[in-house]
Chains A and B, each alone.
Chain A
């Protein structure tokens, strides 16, 4: 399995509902980041949570990190059709040799139906 695996692979909800996506990873991390990608576009950074943080909020986004379980979740509240996109988690490993690189997961495809 890869470092950074999202669950579920695909999620379809109605507008106004909450969407929860999960990410698991294998090695110790410095931080975990969530990105969004609209179809055929580049990724956009959403939020970064450091290894010593447990929860972070940004607007309708809430991210949690459980380093003991090596997992993170991204909650989008009151979803809108415009939230339809793929969401990726990315981890910065603690290894000194990893430099500035991040390791991305496979992504969750979120569809919000109007």
Chain B
């Protein structure tokens, strides 16, 4: 998990509330990613960013929003519009181009009741 941090590790929210998950990296990577993982499943891409002030939707962007104001930071907001927000959220970063490995943070487990 070195070089990329996510906070908090566990997060509990009431239904109808927006919540923001933090992701910071000190690897000087241009690209950053947010994934969602449900129990026993693979990773699904929510959003990714390849440069500051720009980001692209992944496969399941509905109900989520992101910003990339700094190279080091890529926060994810889970809005009240997300129907099933309870999941494990993983942030990753990499050099540009897709020919490099992605470095993952430790994840944030979000529970919405």
Interface stretch, picked from B11-19, B42-50, B61-69, B72-80, is B42-50
**In the complex, which of the residues B35, B50, B105 contacts A100, with contact meaning CB atoms closer than 8 Å?**
B50
Enumerate chain B residues within 8 angstroms of A42, measured Cβ to Cβ.
Answer: 1, 90, 92, 104-107
Q: Is the beta-carbon distance between A98 and B98 smaller than 8 angstroms?
A: yes
Is B56 interfacial (CB-CB < 8 Å)? yes
Q: Is the beta-carbon distance between A92 and B107 smaller than 8 angstroms?
A: no
What is the distance, in angstroms, from A26's C-beta to the closest C-beta of chain B?
Answer: 15
Size of A's binding interface in residues, CB under 8 A:
28
Q: Is the beta-carbon distance between A99 and B42 smaller than 8 angstroms?
A: no
Size of B's binding interface in residues, CB under 8 A:
32
What is the distance, in angstroms, from A25's C-beta to the closest C-beta of chain B?
Answer: 13
Between-chain CB contacts (< 8 Å), 8 pairs: A2-B42, A42-B1, A42-B105, A45-B102, A92-B98, A99-B48, A100-B95, A102-B98
Enumerate chain A residues within 8 angstroms of B48, measured Cβ to Cβ.
Answer: 99-101
User: Nearest CB to that of B42 among chain A residues?
Assistant: A106
Bound CA–CA A105/B41 (angstroms): 9
Bound CA–CA A59/B68 (angstroms): 38
Bound CA–CA A43/B88 (angstroms): 12
Q: Is the beta-carbon distance between A43 and B98 smaller than 8 angstroms?
A: no
> Do A100 and B90 contact each other (CB < 8 Å), given the known contacts A41-B1, A42-B1, A45-B103?
no
Bound CA–CA A92/B1 (angstroms): 22
Enumerate chain B residues within 8 angstroms of A102, measured Cβ to Cβ.
Answer: 98, 102
Bound CA–CA A30/B100 (angstroms): 11
What is the distance, in angstroms, from B59's C-beta to the closest C-beta of chain A?
Answer: 9
